[in-house]
Structure 1
Amino acid sequence: MEGTGTWVMLVYRIPREPSRPRIAVWRQLERLGVARLGDGVVGLPADARTREQFDWIADEILAAGGACTVWLSQPASPAQEQQVAAGMRAARAAEYQAVVTEAEAAISAEPGERARVVRRLRAELRRIRRRDFFPPAERDTAQVMVDALAVNDDRSPA
């Protein structure tokens, strides 16, 4: 297993009804940027933060009447880990591309509107970075576009 990192995995089942806890868990997992490895199996590169997050989610699943276990594991080969990482990288690339698209669209907006867009996009970049374990090239492009939009707004007449 040399050459692969340690991953924290959450294996869970949660009742379909009531749907509110199931949806809440799904949203939390999406915010974390998990790799969906199978039905009810998700993973993230292991660190103190991801382990703690999975432990909290596991508590919520148990409180909702579900079943779950948290595992520390390693992929069987570097190729398997690279495949999972590529999927996670592609998901973040799409999110960064959406930021680029929004920044491009805001270039022709009024100064006040551009300032609001810059604040919102900077917050969005922070949210994406928290779940960006394998940064794609689009990350830098998105940052450059938001910074350019901010500079463009700073140069606008007041």
Structure 2
Amino acid sequence: MKIQSWLLLTYKVPSEPAKKRVALWRRLKGLGAVYLQNGVCLLPKTDDHQRRLKMLANDITEMGGESVILETVALDKSQEDKVVSRFKADRDEEYREFIGKCTDFEDEIAKETAVNHFTYAELEENDVDLKKLQSWLEKIRKLDFYGATLSLESEQRLKACEALLDAYAQRVFDAHDENQ
């Protein structure tokens, strides 16, 4: 069995200005870090994560704070499973939000279809929304280090949204061909 290594970042930064502290938190969450408690977070050990954490440590020093980066492993399999579960739970929370936005997208197409609103402007607006969904799912996937449970459902929902937009686009094209 391969031993999973993580990078552990502990940090303390001044409470003011709060926007710097919040920006740091956002950057760490944007990397996919899980927080074990305030100022203590983990990432899977990769060269990219190591490089990014070193840059963040430099930023923390510039903020007047302190940080330490350590490489660590779990004490045993049950501890490792707890950590992996935290990563999966964070991603599932993001996938859940994504799935909700897919439902909103499907509802919007259904609403436009119900009132026979087949315009190029509406198609373009929905196409922009679909591209946002595609981009968002790609970002979540990049942070899904351990295969969260809602990953497959999210993929399927995106494919359904893509198919729905294709069908809507065909209705728009058909409506405009009939009007000419």
For residue 151 of structure 1, report the CA deviation from its aligned partner: 1.2
Where do 5+ consecutive residues of structure 2 fail to align?
Answer: 113-122, 173-180
Match of 1:82 in 2: 81
State the secondary structure of the residue aligned to 1:155: helix
Mapping of residues 18-57 of structure 1, within 5 Å:
18-57=17-56
Which residue identity lines up with residue 144 of structure 2 in the other structure?
Answer: D
Q: Which is richer in helix?
A: 2
Count of equivalent residues:
157
1:121 aligns with 2:143: no
CA distance in 1, matches of 2:130, 2:77: 39
The two structures have a TM-score, normalised by structure 1, of 0.91
Query: What is the aligned partner in structure 2 of residue 98 from structure 1?
Result: 97
Q: CA deviation at 1:143?
A: 1.2
Q: Which residue number in structure 2 is paired with residue 108 of structure 1?
A: 107
Contact in 2 for aligned 1:4/1:77 (Cα 8 Å):
no
**C-alpha root-mean-square deviation of aligned residues, in Å?**
1.6
Larger Rg: 2
Q: Which has the higher contact order (CA 8 A, sep 6+)?
A: 1
> Does the aligned pair in 2 maintain the 1:103–1:146 contact within 8 Å?
yes
SS of residue in 2 equivalent to 1:7: strand
1:151 is aligned, of 158, 163, 172, to 163
**What CA deviation, in whole Å up to 9, does each residue of 1:72-126 have, x standing for no partner?**
1111112111101101101111211211121122213244443222111111111
Report the Cα offset of residue 29 of structure 1. 1.0
Query: What TM-score, normalized by structure 2, do the two folds share?
Result: 0.81
Which secondary structure state, in structure 1, belongs to the residue aligned with residue 160 of structure 2?
helix
Query: Kindly tell me: are residues 94 and 76 of structure 1, through their superposed partners in 2, closer, same or farther at Cα, counting changes over 3 Å?
Result: same
Task: Give the letter aligned to residue 40 of structure 1.
Answer: G
Which runs of 5 or more structure 1 residues have no equivalent in the other structure? Answer: none
What is the letter of the counterpart of residue 103 of structure 1?
Answer: C
Following superposition, the deviation at residue 148 of structure 1 comes to 1.2
Per the TM alignment, residue 22 of structure 1 is displaced from its structure 2 partner at its CA by 1.1
Q: CA-to-partner distance for each residue in 1:12-71, whole Å, 9 max, x for gaps?
A: 110111222211111101111212123311111101111111111111100101011111
| Aligned partners of 1:118 and 1:150 also within 8 Å | yes
